[in-house]
Structure 1
Amino acid sequence: MSNPKEGDEAPYLSYSESHLSDEYHQTLTKWQHVRLAFKAFRLLSSPYFARSDARRLFLLLVTLMLMSSAVRVIFSYISRDYWSALSGRDEEQFYHIVRNFCVALVVLAPLNVLYRYQRERLALQWREWMTERMLKLYATNRVYYTLEADPKDQSKVDNPDQRICEDVRSFTHFSLTFFLTLAISIIDLVAFSVILYTIQPMLFVSIISFATVGSVGVAVIGQQLMRLNVERLQKEADLRFSLVRVRENAESIAFYSGEPMEQQQILNRLDQVVDNKNDIIVTKRNLDFLTTLYNYVTWTLPLLLLAPAYFGGVIELGVMQQAAVAFGHVLEDLSFIVWEFDSLAEFSASIRRLYQFLQAIQKADPDRDEHSPLLGDDMYNEKDGLILPTVAKRGPSVLSTIQLTPSLHAVMPLTIRNLSVSTPDYTRTLVKNLSLSVNDGDHVLICGPSGAGKSSLVRSIAGLWTAGSGFIERTSDVCFLPQKPYCPVASLRNQLLYPHNSENQSDKAFVQSDEQLIAIMKQVNILGIAEQAGNGNVEAGLDAVLDWSNRLSLGEQQRLAFGRVLLHRPRLLILDESTSAMDVQSERQMYDLLREWKVSYISVGHRPTLIEFHDIRLEIRGMGEFSIVRIE
């Protein structure tokens, strides 16, 4: 990729560059960095403010902002007259000004409070809307799975949880604060510049020169701060992730006595965080030298310039005080980049991470292409809320993909035609030209050596694995049981109902009575779990909310997953090592339940005890080879 030249517009990034890699950013000029940041900001912010309710809230906020600026100008004149009355020892005028001040305080001061309240309220609503939108896009078409599916993909985004939570919060809050501060600075600059110019034109000229020098100094000293803040977000997220990994895998680490290695990895990431923070502290120190100088000079420069006129009796003390206040306002407005550079650097990092994340989501969603709106504007309808996307599907890929057609009214539970399954990089074929029909009541066992492609075949049937070619037609009434079932943080009742929820109105049709749930738990031999959770009361145990992934053994979790299957009763069931943690007797009990029910199921496993529960064996040998035999 050739380096962009100065003056070229930052290009619209293609999918090959959609992750905004560090290598790509290093090829951009500073001006192109700015243009790309503004473009990303526009794409991220404009969808929300296209809504009528958001525009109304924003218009109210701008009105309060203008009134708040007017309040500051009014109080500057009141303060001028106040100090003039004091210096002239005019008692009557002094108390007249105090009365005016009290009236202005009661009438005008609440406007500042309402302005800040409205700003926080709009930021919160914007964050809520944007988070809901990103979660919708993240969950649509299993995008969350696609983003994590290939661990070798160097372009995948890191820490999506942080981007959805922290970066969205930072983006929405700082966007409003920055825009409004900038707008107020422009308004104040005009108003107080007029005041300064009327007092003494030299004041206005001197402050312009002083602010210019400061802004140039900040640009030179703080040019590394944006890059350091991008690195800070990633390194801190990596440190938190390491700690979460230890918590989630505590038992395995304890069995291996792996504490020294885990501790060393965490300390290594802590060192990276500390080194990055030290670099930020040094850069901020250099900035502080300049900003501290600004603070001290602001107090003295206007007084030094006006001192001859004051001592000569040309101006009053109140005018001196008003000039000092106006000088401070104008200097702050002109030096906006100085005061906000640190926050602006962090904000730029959040924009970049959100832009990366949304483009990665866009790339991973098969129903969207590079021309689809970044935040999926077409998914929103002001009257009906979020709806399914309507954009044209992405054109055919250069590489072939597996075509999956799920249907509730499929003739057979599963039909596979000329299926070839490849590794994600298409360098190795795992299964080649497989054709298989599974009728109602058929029981298929998929076996073979580790790494041959058994689980990849199951993922292809589920629609999670698309690398390869061929056609899969199956019923949409299907359940998949992985080796380690997923247990959400929910009640035991909702563990059985998952993915449905007894608390959702839309899932009421799937809710079972306590008697039905207890009967299912007896069948899969997990009634004791409810008794323990409810301190002997099974009904109370059904509503116990615990961390079931850590509370239950893997064998208990697998039996719980079979309980889900018995509740949902799908037409096709696919089990991937789903009894690996059970004893032989429990395994037989689970399969006997399935055979009594006469459901079609496909099992993946190595245990020889599985053969007697199946009538067809599909052996995956690797390198594309397989065999299909009927078990007598």
Structure 2
Amino acid sequence: MLITFTVILWQSAGTLSFTVGGTEWNIQGYMVYTVVLIVIGGTLFTHKVGKRIRPLNVEKQRSEATFRTNLVQHNKQAELIALSNAESLQRQELSENFHTIKENWHRLMNRQRWLDYWQNIYSRSLSVLPYFLLLPQFISGQINLGGLMKSRQAFMLVSNNLSWFIYKYDELAELAAVIDRLYEFHQLTEQRPTNKPKNCQHAVQVADASIRTPDNKIILENLNFHVSPGKWLLLKGYSGAGKTTLLKTLSHCWPWFKGDISSPADSWYVSQTPLIKSGLLKEIICKALPLSVDDKSLSEVLHQVGLGKLATRIHDHDRWGDILSSGEKQRIALARLILRRPKWIFLDETTSHLEEQEAIRLLRLVREKLPTSGVIMVTHQPGVWNLVDDICDISAVI
């Protein structure tokens, strides 16, 4: 359609003739040249007026994402916030987040308002401009009233089609902001190193290794130890020494290391705070298990880990993440461990919310049920240290 009406505009507008310095000039299809120049100028001015919309949209998405994240975190920690009388502090933090959103909204609306003003002026001007451009032709009799209206209509259709960028600038700016955010995320994932330990199912071997931060600062160095199947190793060290980071490295989840590290890729990592969601209790416990578990076996394991009171509720649907205490969640994590029977296990403060004697009993149960599994563990409960075969003092190699 654009090509068709461009041809019509070229033919219907005729030739513009004028004299400059004694030289006569004849420009055939001058209306086509005019509309192209007008659209180019309008596009450049539109970009000048609206170029701030793109970064403002990026800021808008970032500030809104921060606000939503803080709302979710505060909702999860609502009870702790109330018990610690931190409501006013958290309310102030959320108010500051919302104030950032509001300020960005005002700046964005102001910039879009000026863009709307320009788009309206541009659109209105295009509706009357053809009359002035064709007036010399009409007065000289080169075109009649019908030709004038025909040329104006063709001018409007051609200009509107060529002005798509101008009229859609705000939408394109928002799309560009989304692309910027996605590209930034993609760049961060691309910059993440792909370094992983060698996949070895027969042992965990660490030789002359160092663990680092993403900005290449050394956390641990000169690491050397070996763990065979069925053996238990304790990683000992002060809080913040890097024990958890080392376990993440052995679990193939921390790529910032150097040296020779070999560990199984299908190991089972048990954290200090197990993930417990809402749903059927049996599904929550048995999720990610390779084989189905019957109710009798599940009830037996629950009794063994000290959760006999839940054995009759395995088919109940509830918000278990809110109902269960920290210690009960850790017991469920150990129940999962016994049911899954992995060959390699990494325990990161897995019994920290349990009394020491109960922690000893449960870990003995794990060793009894999984005699061939290799275990590397972190714990600050001295009574548990007697259960392991060897100790690697992380503090001594920093």
Say if 2:370 is the partner of 1:580. Answer: no
| C-alpha spacing 1:324/1:585, structure 2 compared with 1 (3 Å) | farther
What's the secondary structure of 1:510's corresponding residue?
Answer: coil
2:247 matched residue in structure 1: 458
Instruction: Indicate the residue corresponding to 1:270 in structure 2.
Output: 98
Equivalence for 2:22:
none
Q: 2: CA distance between counterparts of 1:526 and 1:324?
A: 83
Summarize the Cα distance change of 1:519–1:254 in structure 2 as closer, same or farther, 3 Å threshold: same
Q: In the alignment, which residue of structure 2 is the partner of 1:566?
A: 338
1:554 aligns with 2:347: no
Aligned with 2:391: secondary structure? Answer: strand
Tell me which amino acid in the other structure corresponds to 1:349: A
Say if 2:48 is the partner of 1:247. Answer: no
Whether the aligned pair in 2 keeps the contact of 1:197 and 1:203 (CA below 8 Å) is: yes
Residue 415 (str. 1) matches residue 205 (str. 2): yes
CA drift of 1:328 comes to 2.9
Q: Deviations over 1:536-560 (max 9, x none)?
A: xx4532xx3x554334222121111
* Matched residue SS, 2:161: helix
Q: Counterparts of 1:241 and 1:200 in 2: how far apart (Å)? A: 60
- The SS at the match of 1:417 is strand
* Structure 1 contact 492–530 (Cα < 8 Å) conserved: no
Once the two structures are superposed, what CA deviation does each residue of 1:451-490 show, in whole Å capped at 9, x if it has no partner?
Answer: 2232233223223334444333344553211111123565
Question: Structure 1 pair 292/424, CA: closer, same or farther in 2 (3 Å)?
Answer: closer
> Cα–Cα, structure 1 residues 615 and 217, in superposed 2: closer, same or farther, change >3 Å?
closer
Q: Number of residue pairs matched? A: 378
Amino acid at match of 1:254: A
Match of residue 2, structure 2, among 185, 189, 194: 189
On the 8 A contact 2:234/2:390 being kept in 1, the answer is yes
Root-mean-square deviation over aligned CA pairs: 3.1
Query: Once the 2 structures are TM-superposed, how far is the Cα of residue 494 of structure 1 from its aligned partner?
Result: 3.1
Provide the C-alpha distance between the structure 1 equivalents of 2:134 and 2:211, rounded to a whole number of angstroms.
83
Partner of 2:381: 607
CA contact (8 A) 2:230 2:374 kept: yes
Q: How far apart are residue 570 of structure 1 and its match?
A: 1.5
Residue of 107, 117, 121 corresponding to 1:289: 117
* 3-state DSSP of counterpart to 1:465: coil
In structure 1, the residue matched to 2:89 is 261
SS in 1 for 2:346: strand
**Unaligned 5+ runs, structure 2:** 15-29
Matched residue type, 2:335: G
Judging changes above 3 Å, is the alpha-carbon distance between structure 1 residues 219 and 539 closer, same or farther for their aligned structure 2 residues?
closer
| Secondary structure of 1:621 counterpart | helix
Of Structure 1 and Structure 2, which has the larger fraction of its residues in strand? 2
Equivalent residue letter for 2:9: L
Distance 1:549 1:539, change over 3 A: closer
Q: Conserved in 1, the CA contact under 8 Å of 2:210 and 2:218?
A: no
> What is the CA–CA distance in structure 2 between the aligned matches of 1:476 and 1:217, rounded to whole Å?
57
Question: Which amino acid is the alignment partner of residue 432 of structure 1?
Answer: N
CA distance in 2 between partners of 1:526 and 1:329 (Å): 75
CA distance in 2, matches of 1:594, 1:606: 18
Please state if 1:616 is matched with 2:397: no
1:214–1:290 CA contact under 8 A, matched in 2: no
SS for the counterpart of 1:194 is helix
TM-fit CA distance, 1:561: 0.8
Question: Are residues 306 and 454 of structure 1, via their aligned partners in 2, closer, same or farther at CA, if it must alter by over 3 Å?
Answer: closer
Alpha-carbon distance in structure 2 between the residues aligned to 1:476 and 1:306 = 77
Match of 2:199 among 398, 403, 406: 406
| Partner amino acid, structure 2, of 1:553 | S
TM-score calculated relative to the size of structure 1: 0.54
Relative to structure 1, is the Cα distance of residues 423 and 198 closer, same or farther in structure 2, using a 3 angstrom cutoff?
A: closer
Q: Aligned-pair distance for 1:199?
A: 3.4
- Whether contact under 8 Å (2:303, 2:311) holds in the other structure is no
1:592 — aligned with what?
A: 364
On the 8 A contact 2:280/2:314 being kept in 1, the answer is no
Q: Deviations 1:522-542 (Å, cap 9, x if unpaired)?
A: 3223353464xxxxxx4532x
Unaligned runs of 5+ in 1: 1-187, 367-400, 501-508, 532-537, 626-632
Residue matched to 1:511:
292
RCO higher in structure (CA 8 A, sep ≥6): 2
Match of 1:526 in 2: 307
Distance 1:333 1:617 in 2: 75
Question: Structure 1 residues 314, 470: CA separation in 2 closer, same or farther (over 3 Å shift)?
Answer: closer
Q: Output the CA distance in 2 between the equivalents of 1:365 and 1:432.
A: 21
Does the 8 A contact of 1:478 with 1:571 survive in 2? yes
Instruction: Determine the structure 1 residue equivalent to 2:51.
Output: 223
Taking the aligned partners of 1:350 and 1:219, their CA distance within structure 2 comes to: 18
User: Which of the residues 329, 332, 335 maps onto 2:160?
Assistant: 332
C-alpha distance in 1, partners of 2:258/2:216?
11
**TM-score normalised by L of structure 2:** 0.82
Q: How many angstroms does 1:335 deviate by?
A: 1.8
- The 8 Å contact of residues 421 and 432 in structure 1, kept in 2 or not, is answered as no
Give the partner amino acid of 1:578.
Answer: T
CA, structure 1 residues 365+329, in 2 after alignment: closer, same or farther (shift >3 Å)? Answer: farther
Distance 2:385 2:254 in 1: 26
Give 1:446's match in structure 2, choosing from 207, 232, 235.
235
1:476-491 residue pairs with structure 2 within 5 A? 476=265, 478-487=267-276, 491=280
Greater Cα radius of gyration, structure 1 or 2: 2
State the partner residue of 1:13: none
